[in-house]
Structure formats: structure tokens, C-alpha cells
Amino acid sequence: MSLNLHWRLLVLLPLLLILLLWPLHHFVERYYSEQLSRQNQQTLDLYVANLLGTLHRYEDLPPILGGLPILQAALQHPEDESARAAANDKLAEIRQRTGADVIYVMLPDGLTQAASNWDQPDSFVGHNFSFRPYYKDAIRGQQAQFFGLGTTSKRRGYFFANEVRDGDKLLGVLVVKVDLEHMEALWGNTPEQLMVQDSKGVVILSSNPDWRFRASRPLSPAQEREIAQNIPYPVVHPQPLRINEKDWISQSRELTETGWTVSIYSPRALVDSSVRNVLLIGGATLLALLLLLMLLNISRRHYLERIELEAQAKRQLEIRVLERTGELEAANTLLQQEVHEREQAQRELLHAQDEVVKAGKLTALGTMSASISHELNQPLGAIRSYADNARVLLDHQRIDDARGNLQLISELTERMASIISHLRAYARGARRAPENVALQPALDDALAMVAARRRAMNVELLRDLPDAALWVQAGETRLRQILTNLLSNALDALSETAPPRRLWLTASQSPEYITLSLRDNGTGFSEEALAHAREPFFTTKTSAKGLGLGLAICDTLLRALGGHLELGNHPEGGALVQLHLLPGVPGVSPTPHEETRA
């Protein structure tokens, strides 16, 4: 009954959600639509006020400027170049002060006599604009207004024109052009789109370039002839404006002053997105409540079923206890027999363990021998290099330099003895208390050990270490042993890399550790190498180049010192090895060995 009931509830659950969310959808959609409408109305009012304010600011400018004597003089004496130049300068000054796009005066025949852009490549001076409607209206004594595309500047603008008279004599026409393209830039990059249509229904301003100069309604033949005659747009036959009204929520306002219609279009997706979010939240809440009720009902049924099952289990347990008692008596007899067999197996196991211990001692002896061989190879190589150099120095009678090489050979033999002592102590499990050691001198000694090889491979060394000594808890020999092994491994990796070869050394300090980072620009660690690099005898080199003990020894020594070794790959390529050492107590920093002594 419960399983069928649960399935029926799951089937009815979507229907119940739909019935609950249906009125919520209508309420939320109406709310967000009204909110968007109020917001768009405010935006539209603000833009219209800005547009009308811009136009009204220049509306009375032509009648005022027409009375200036300097402009009337230029119209009364068209051949006087000085009068024309003075008028040009005056118009340029007025344009600068008022912010108009262009101000110019025309003779009665429509020829431009002076203009504020007289010194620009697109100067109006010398151009005849008698075909423009604003000129025709101004000649008839009207205060003309006209929107159109400049035939010279190719920029949209609104023209205010007025006649210039000296008494009853018509001297010409003064025109002020206002640039309207900046009105589109004021809109910014928003989802809402702005559109301004003139009296013919042609879009003259729009934040959507695809809507510009398109007709929102069919044009009559008279309107098409007027467009061809006055050329207000860059196209003679505007294409139809196609807007899918289902995708937009629009509001419009008529401007009686200009005959324009200003509209704002908001994507319906703005409302749909908000409605969808509310429905998702509401649906999730309702679904959670319904599921909670179902879970409570299921939990109640399960609780009753569990009580019944516990009662049945108790009865079955009593029966099984009786059965188990008999089984235990039989098992007790078998157990005594098994104990005897185990005692016999224990004696055999002890004998096998003795044999395993003997084999382990032989294996440890082999590992110890391989470790000593690996650790002594580098000092022996340096001794051989110093000895060869000493022989050459003696041949050249450079006794002091040869004595210095012999001193270095003596120090290396002491280091070899110290390495053998440390490995022997490690094999016995002995522990030495860490000392306070300066990191930079130990690093300089390790670099000196591999300097000849590094220069032979032409490896560039990039160091970023602090001037002040970094003191760590370690042993002099063990720390140099670790650093030499890691530097040798880095050079081995770079030997398989084409030049340029680089090795970076950086150090950083934190309250817990002092970290020394060694990075190269080689091929880096493979996944297999990162997984097994700390295991003895694992190596990616040939048997002639390595035994696979270097990183295993370094890891063991570092852990004995309380630090640890971190292996990885640098994001820019190459291997990245980081030594984390415990901070030591500052002491007297020994004089660092120069790398050149190698």
C-alpha cells in the first residue's frame, strides 16, 4: 500500500506545484511589468527633458546673433575679405562659448558668406544651401527649424535659422546647427533601447545602430519626394523598421514642439528573467515543503513498521539463542583442535622469521653499500678534479695554488669520512641532535662541488637569497650532502634539455619553516617519478648515470632533521624541489666559500 501511495504522490506532486505556481506567475509578472513601466517612464521623461533643453537653449540664438553689426557688415559687403574674416572669427568665438556645432551666415541667394568652421577641412564657406528647407522658411520671414544630415560634415544635427535684416532690407540668413549625435552617447550600454522618430516615422536617433534611418510606417509619395528634395537622411528610400513587439516592452511620448516621437524599448526578457527567478524560488520552497510533509509521513510509517519488526526480531532471537548454544558446544571442540594446530604453525613461523631476518640483513647490507657508493661519487669526482688541477698547477710552478687544491682535497676526504659516519649511524638507527647551521654557506659549498660541471654544461644560475644568514636546524655534513645531491639531480635533468639551461635558487622564511626552492627549466617530473621518487633504487636515468638513491637519502635525512622534501613541477615548466627546514638559532655566520675555488 505504501509503495503505491508513494508513487501516486510523486505523480500528483507536479500537478500540485503547477496549481500553486499559476496565480503566483500572474501576480509576479504584473508586478515586474508595472515596475519596469514606471522605471522606463522616468527614464523617458529624463531623456526628453534633456533633449528639449538642448534644443531650447539654441532656439533664440539666431535672432539675437542676426543683429550683430560685425555679421551684418559681412553680408552688406560680400567682397570685403576683412569683413568676412572678422565675421568668421566672431562666429568661431560664439560657437566656442555656446557649444553649438556650427554657426554660419548665408547671402540672400543661399551662398555661405562666413562660418565658425571656416578654417576646417569641411568648412561651409562657399557652399550654397538654398535647397535646404530651413533657408526657404527663413527667407519667408519664419523662424525655421529642421533636422537633417549635414551635406558637408555628414553628421546629424538640428538647424535653427532666422533672417538677417537691416531695416526693411534682407541681408541674408543666420543658421545655428546643433549636434544631436551626442544624445545617443548619453544613453550608454544598457539593455533598454532608445528611438526618436520624426513626423514621417523615420528613426533619426537610436541607441541601436540597426534601427537608425528606418521607417516605422510606409511613406506616402509626397513624403518620398520631400525626402529626395531636402535630403534629411543618408538614404533616399528608408527601409522598413522591423521590431518584434513580442520581444519588447515599449513606451512613447510625443514632442509637440518638434513633431517627434521618443520611444524606449525594454527587452521582455528583463521581466521574464525576474519572473523566472521568483518562480524558481517559490517552486523550490513549495517543493521542499511538500517533500518535507511526505518525509514526515514516510518516517511515521517506518517508525511503526520498525516497532513491529523489532518485536518479530525479539521472538526470532530467542529461538536462535537456543540453536546457537548447541552450535557453540560443537564449535568449542573444533576450537581446541584449532589451537593445537596454531601452536604447531607458530613454531614453524618462528623458524621462517629467522630465515627472513637473515635475508633482510643481506638486503640492508646491499642498500648500505649502494648508498655509500652513491654519496661518495661526488666528492671522489671533485678530488679527482682538484688532483688534476694540482698537477697542472705544479707543472706551471704555481705552488700556492696547488697547495690550496691539496687543502681542498683534504677537506673533501674529511667530508667523505663524515658521510660514511652519518650513513653508518643511520644504518645502526643512531640519532644525532640537530645543530644550528647557516644555510647560505652550506649552499655555496654545494654549488662549489658542482660548479665545474655546471659551467661545462653552460647552465645559468639565478639566485634570489637574502643577504642576512638563514639559520636552520641541521648538520653541516648532512645539509651539504642533501644540497649537493639535489643540485646534481637538477644538472642531470638539464643535461637532457637543449640550451638555454637555467637553474633558480630562492629562499623564503615562515614561522614554521625556512624553505629553499630549486627550480630548473628541464622536462620536469613525470607522474610515475612523482609517485616513486622517494623509493630507493627508483631512477629514470640509465644505470650508468645513477642508482636511484639520491632523493631517497635526501628525504630520509630531512625527515630525521624534522623537515621534509616537497617534489613537483613549476607552472612555467621544469622541476621544482622545495626543502622545508626547521628554523635555527642565529649564531656566528662562517665566511662563505666562493664558488670560484672549485
Question: How many residues are present in the chain?
Answer: 598
Q: Is the domain of 122 the same as that of 240?
A: no
- Cβ neighbours, 10 Å, residue 57: 13
Q: Is the domain of 591 the same as that of 452?
A: yes
pLDDT for the residue numbered 430: 46
Backbone angles phi, psi at 120, to 5 degrees: -100, 160
Cell numbers that stand for 320 in this block: 536462535
Residue 495 DSSP symbol:
T
Mean per-residue pLDDT, 367-377: 58
pLDDT for the residue numbered 7: 62
Q: What is the DSSP string of 513-577?
A: -EEEEEEESS----HHHHHHTTSTT--SS-TTT--S-HHHHHHHHHHHTT-EEEEEE-TTSSEEE
Residue 124 exposed, middle or buried by CB count within 10 Å (0-12, 13-18, 19+): buried
Residue 44 lies in a domain: no
Mean per-residue pLDDT, 522-531: 83
Whole-number Å distance between alpha carbons of 270 and 33: 9
Whole-number Å distance between alpha carbons of 333 and 596: 82
Whole-number Å distance between alpha carbons of 20 and 288: 13
pLDDT for the residue numbered 543: 44
3-state secondary structure of 134: helix
Q: Is the domain of 488 the same as that of 535?
A: yes
pLDDT for the residue numbered 84: 92
Residue 202 exposed, middle or buried by CB count within 10 Å (0-12, 13-18, 19+): buried
pLDDT for the residue numbered 162: 93
Q: What is the CATH number of the domain that holds 218?
A: 3.30.450.20
Cα 323–chain centre separation:
70
Question: Who has greater pLDDT, 514 or 477?
Answer: 514
Residue 208 exposed, middle or buried by CB count within 10 Å (0-12, 13-18, 19+): middle
Residue 566 lies in a domain: yes
Q: What is the CATH number of the domain that holds 577?
A: 3.30.565.10
Q: Is the domain of 539 the same as that of 576?
A: yes
Question: 164: Cβ–Cβ under 8 A, 6 or more apart, which residues?
Answer: 66, 71, 72, 75, 105, 170, 171, 172, 173, 174
pLDDT digits (tens, 9 = 90+) for 321-364: 888 888 888 888 888 888 888 888 878 776 765 564 444 344 44
pLDDT for the residue numbered 542: 52
Beta bridge mates, 144: 161
pLDDT for the residue numbered 356: 47
Backbone angles phi, psi at 577, to 5 degrees: -115, 130
Which residue has cell 705552488? 399
Q: Is the domain of 164 the same as that of 197?
A: no
Q: Residue 172 — pLDDT band, cuts 50, 70, 90?
A: very high
Whole-number Å distance between alpha carbons of 472 and 177: 80
Whole-number Å distance between alpha carbons of 180 and 156: 6
Which residue has cell 522598413? 240
Kind and range of the H or E run holding 392: helix 268-395
Kind and range of the H or E run holding 377: helix 268-395
- The closest of 262, 204, 331 to 50, measured between CA atoms, is 262
Mean per-residue pLDDT, 367-379: 60
Mean per-residue pLDDT, 408-433: 64
Backbone angles phi, psi at 154, to 5 degrees: 60, 25
Domain housing 154:
61-180
pLDDT digits (tens, 9 = 90+) for 199-247: 888 888 887 888 888 888 888 888 888 888 877 887 888 888 888 878 8
Q: Is the domain of 159 the same as that of 263?
A: no
pLDDT for the residue numbered 353: 54
Q: Is the domain of 562 the same as that of 590?
A: yes
pLDDT for the residue numbered 106: 94
The overall average pLDDT reported for the chain is 81
Measured CA angle at 285 (ends 281, 288), to 5 deg: 135
Q: Is the domain of 557 the same as that of 507?
A: yes
In contact, 175 and 58? CB cutoff 8 Å: no
Kind and range of the H or E run holding 11: helix 2-59
Q: Is the domain of 201 the same as that of 173?
A: no
Residue 209 lies in a domain: yes
3-state secondary structure of 263: strand
Q: Residue 422 — pLDDT band, cuts 50, 70, 90?
A: low
Measured CA angle at 145 (ends 139, 148), to 5 deg: 110
Whole-number Å distance between alpha carbons of 251 and 108: 44
Cα 399–chain centre separation:
63
Q: What is the DSSP string of 430-489?
A: -----EEEEHHHHHHHHHHHHHHHHHHHTEEEEEE--SSPPEEEE-HHHHHHHHHHHHHH
Domain boundary among 248, 268, 288: 268
Residue 419 lies in a domain: no
Q: Is the domain of 67 the same as that of 139?
A: yes
Mean per-residue pLDDT, 499-512: 90
Q: What is the DSSP string of 393-438?
A: HHHTT-HHHHHHHHHHHHHHHHHHHHHHHHHHHHHHT-----EEEE
Q: Is the domain of 592 the same as that of 462?
A: yes
Residue 237 lies in a domain: yes
As for how many domains the chain has, the answer is 3
Residue 152 lies in a domain: yes
- Residue 594 in this model has a pLDDT that exceeds 50: no
Q: Is the domain of 490 the same as that of 472?
A: yes
Cell numbers that stand for 212 in this block: 537608425
Residue 379 lies in a domain: no
Mean per-residue pLDDT, 356-381: 55
Residue 214 lies in a domain: yes
Cell numbers that stand for 505 in this block: 635558487
pLDDT for the residue numbered 442: 85
